[in-house]
Amino acid sequence: MDKSDVPFEADDLFGEAEAGVATESQPETVQVTAVVEPRKAKAKAAKSKSEALAPGGPLIFDIETGPEPEEKLRDFFEVDYSKVKGADLIDAEFDPATVKLGNLKDQAKIDAKIKSEREKFDAEKTAAIAAKANAATDQWRTFVDRAALSPVTGRVLAIGWIGTNDVIQIWAVDPADADAEKKLLTTFWVSFRDCAKTDAPIIGFNSHGFDLPFLIRRSWLLGVDVPDDVLANGRPHRLFIDLMQVWQCGNRQERISLNNLSAFFGHGQKTEGVDGGDFARLYLSEKQEDRETAIEYLRQDVRLTLAAAKRMGVV
C-alpha cells in the first residue's frame, strides 16, 4: 500500500476495527480484522497495520476509487458540442438541390421527394438542437461516471489487503477528514517498505495498468513521498506482480476481466449487482447497509484475486 515515514498510524484513520469470522455464505473462511466505519473514527494506540498482514508472505491488494468532489471536477470539464449527433445540421439550411432524384421525371413526384427530404432534414435538425441543449447535462453525467478512472479527476477511497492466511483488511478514508486520502497513500508506501524488508511480493489484478499508477500519481499530487525504488526506469518494483500480465503470457493484446477470470477458474463471481463504478456512491452513502455493501464488494475482489494467484502458481 501507500505510506511514508510520517508519525501516522492506520488506526487513527480507519476507526474502530471489527473482528469476526466469515459467514457460511462466503466462499472461504476469512477473518476480517479491520473494517472501516468512516463516521466512527477515533484515535488508538500506535500500531502498524502492516504488522498484521502476514509479514514475510505474499500480499494481495486492490484499490477502490471515486470521483473528486464536484467543485474540483468542474475545473476539468468542458462541453464538446462537436460530439452532438447532427451538430453539423444546427446552423445549416435545407438545400433542395442536394436531393437525389434519380430518374424521376414527374414534377409531382419530384416535389413529394423534396418535401419528404425537407421533413427528414427538419426533424434531424430539431433533434440536434435539442441534443445540443442537453449536451452539458449529458456529458457532465458521463464525465462524472468516468471520473474515478483517472487520477486527474478521481481519488483513492479504499484499499483491500489479503495474505495467504486469508486474513482480510480493508483500509478506507474517513470522508470527514480532508487529509484522509493523503494518510491512506502514506500507509500504502509504509506497507511497501515493510514488504521490501522481507522480499514479500505484492500482487494485484491489472495493478500495473491501473492501481499502481493511480496510487503513484495521487501521491505526487498530494505531496506523499513515493519510495525511490517503486519505479525503476518507469517500470514497477519487482515485488509488484500483476496477474493480468501473468495471464497474458507475453501477449499484451490478451486481456480478461477479474470476473471472467474467476468464472474461468470456477472461483465464483464479483459481488452481484455492484461494480467498481458503484463503490463511491455506496461507500459515501449515509446508509449503513450501503457502506457495508461497498466494503463487501472490495472484500470479494481481494478474495478472487488471491484465488486466481493461487491457481496461477503466483503464491
pLDDT tens for 279-305 read: 999 999 999 999 999 999 999 999 999
What's the mean pLDDT in 19-24? Answer: 29
In sequence order, what DSSP letters do the residues of 45-89 get, joined into one string? ----GGGGS-TTS-EEEEEEEEEPPHHHHGGG----GGGSTTGGG
- Give the residue, 5 or 33, on which the prediction is more confident: 33
pLDDT tens for 223-233 read: 999 999 998 88
User: How far is the C-alpha of 182 from the C-alpha of 215, rounded, in Å?
Assistant: 10
* β-bridge pairing 154-163 and 59-67: antiparallel
Question: Per-residue b/e over 114-149, b at no fewer than 16 CB within 10 Å?
Answer: beebeeebeeebeebbebbeebeeebeeebbeebbe
- Give the residue, 186 or 275, on which the prediction is more confident: 186
Nearest to 183 by CA among 171, 193, 194: 171
- The answer to whether 271 touches 170, Cβ cutoff 8 Å, is no
pLDDT tens for 98-130 read: 999 888 888 899 999 999 999 999 999 999 999
Please state the separation of Cα 93 from the chain's center in Å: 45
The angle at the Cα of 203, spanning 197 to 205, to the nearest 5 degrees, equals 160
What's the mean pLDDT in 174-195? Answer: 92
User: How far is the C-alpha of 98 from the C-alpha of 75, rounded, in Å?
Assistant: 43
User: How far is the C-alpha of 183 from the C-alpha of 224, rounded, in Å?
Assistant: 9
pLDDT band at 80 (very low <50, low <70, confident <90, very high): very high
Q: Which pLDDT score is estimated for 57? A: 79
Phi/psi at 299 (5° precision) = -55, -50
pLDDT band at 56 (very low <50, low <70, confident <90, very high): low
Q: Which pLDDT score is estimated for 29? A: 32
Residue 43 confidence (pLDDT) above 50: no
Dmax (CA) of the chain: 93
The angle at the Cα of 220, spanning 218 to 225, to the nearest 5 degrees, equals 110
pLDDT band at 179 (very low <50, low <70, confident <90, very high): very high
Cell of 209: 495498468
Cell of 147: 471520473
Residue 87 confidence (pLDDT) above 50: yes
Q: Which pLDDT score is estimated for 186? A: 93
What is the 8-class DSSP label of residue 2?
A: B
Nearest to 153 by CA among 221, 71, 67, 213: 67
pLDDT tens for 138-166 read: 999 999 999 999 999 999 999 999 987 88
User: How far is the C-alpha of 212 from the C-alpha of 218, rounded, in Å?
Assistant: 10
Residue 6 confidence (pLDDT) above 60: no
pLDDT band at 53 (very low <50, low <70, confident <90, very high): low
pLDDT, the chain, mean? 82
Please give the share of the chain, as a percent, with pLDDT higher than 70: 82
Q: Which pLDDT score is estimated for 279? A: 94
Cell of 90: 444546427
Q: Which pLDDT score is estimated for 271? A: 82
User: How far is the C-alpha of 120 from the C-alpha of 124, rounded, in Å?
Assistant: 6
What's the mean pLDDT in 13-34? Answer: 32
The second-level CATH assignment, the architecture, of 10-68+153-311 is 2-Layer Sandwich (3.30)
pLDDT tens for 240-286 read: 999 999 999 999 899 999 999 999 999 988 888 888 889 999 999 99
Residue 71 confidence (pLDDT) above 90: yes
pLDDT band at 311 (very low <50, low <70, confident <90, very high): very high
